[in-house]
Copies of this chain bind each other. A is one copy, B any other.
Amino acid sequence: MLVTDNISHLRTARWADPRATWGLVPTMGFLHEGHLALVRAAKTANDYVAVSIYVNPTQFAPTEDLSTYPRDLERDLALLRAAGVDLVFTPSNEMMYPAGFQTRVEVTEITRYLEGVSRPTHFAGVTLVVAKLFNIIQPTRAYFGQKDAQQVAVLRRMVQDLNFNLELVVCPIVREPDGLAMSSRNKYLAGAERQAALVLRRALDAAEAAVASGQTDAEAIRAEMRGLIAAEPLAKLDYVSIADAQTLVEVEEIAGERLVSLAVFIGRTRLIDNVIIHR
């Protein structure tokens, strides 16, 4: 397994056999089963697998948790080695954003909703770093988790609009046995917060059950979800959304493909979760 922060070395490995297919799994490290499921999907479909580990500063607002974001490179590399990964790219901030850097890559509309309301600069950072990683590694396929549903929609738009020559593959959310969606930020949950965090999944379950029982009024479902969050003392709601799965615009009716998503603070930790509903 080649571990490098050197783009020239990376490209030599990447293009040693120009007919080989490569899967890329971009990560911010502190890997969990969700990341490893992406790696396994990439292993199955490609000749080689590259993983990037980079806590990208441009996708954090000044008020967010950049400095405390959990890191454990040694453990990450052991996991990736065991998973049979071929190449790990571990760039520095100085390499990614050297003095004089002044280029932006932005998706302008679907970034305004959901996460974009409380994190207005977040997706510009994501699209910028992912565009760079795509150009550095030039993968055949790139793997992302459905956990970050809006990120997936934004990157799909970017790939299409900028004609990146790759396939974007989205893998299902991986959950703890009790239903909590895997996230590196789950590490922040202390004591009773871990149990309280299950309220996100309970709210999504309630939405699915309501639709299964014939409820088609989106606002009634949102109200029920808000009620469940309000009933959990350690939880503070950021948003509940039922939106068109493509445009991310809020809907009135459950019809076609809907993205049900929410963001909730559990103590000081902000968690997100979602489910796609078809009807």
Contacts and interface: CB of A to CB of B under 8 A. Distances in A.
A223 to B, nearest CB: 31
B106 A104 contact: yes
Instruction: Kindly report how many copies of this chain are found in the complex they form together.
Output: 2
Interface stretch (A46-54, A78-86, A154-162, A186-194): A154-162
Contacts of A213: none
Contacts of A265: none
Contacts of A108: 102-104
Contacts of A104: 104-106, 108
Interface stretch (A129-137, A144-152, A201-209, A256-264): A129-137
Interface residues of A, number: 28
Contacts of A138: 165
A161 B102 CA distance: 7
Interface in A1-29: 7, 11, 18-19
Interface in A63-111: 100-110
B105 A7 contact: no
A60 interface: no
A26 to B, nearest CB: 14
A205 B258 CA distance: 65
A44 interface: no
Given A19-B18, A102-B157, A136 B163 contact: yes
A164 interface: yes
A110 to B, nearest CB: 7
A165 B165 CA distance: 13
Interface string A155-177: 00110011111000000000000
A190 to B, nearest CB: 39
Interface in A111-141: 127, 131-132, 135-136, 138
B102 A103 contact: no
A103 B164 contact: no
Given A102-B157, A132-B162, A135-B165, 19 more contacts: A100-B157, A101-B161, A102-B107, A103-B105, A103-B106, A103-B107, A103-B127, A103-B157, A103-B158, A104-B105, A104-B106, A104-B108, A105-B162, A132-B161, A135-B163, A135-B164, A136-B163, A136-B165, A138-B165
21 contacts: A7-B163, A18-B18, A102-B108, A102-B110, A102-B157, A102-B161, A103-B105, A103-B106, A103-B107, A103-B157, A103-B161, A103-B162, A104-B105, A105-B105, A105-B162, A132-B161, A132-B163, A135-B163, A135-B165, A136-B163, A136-B165
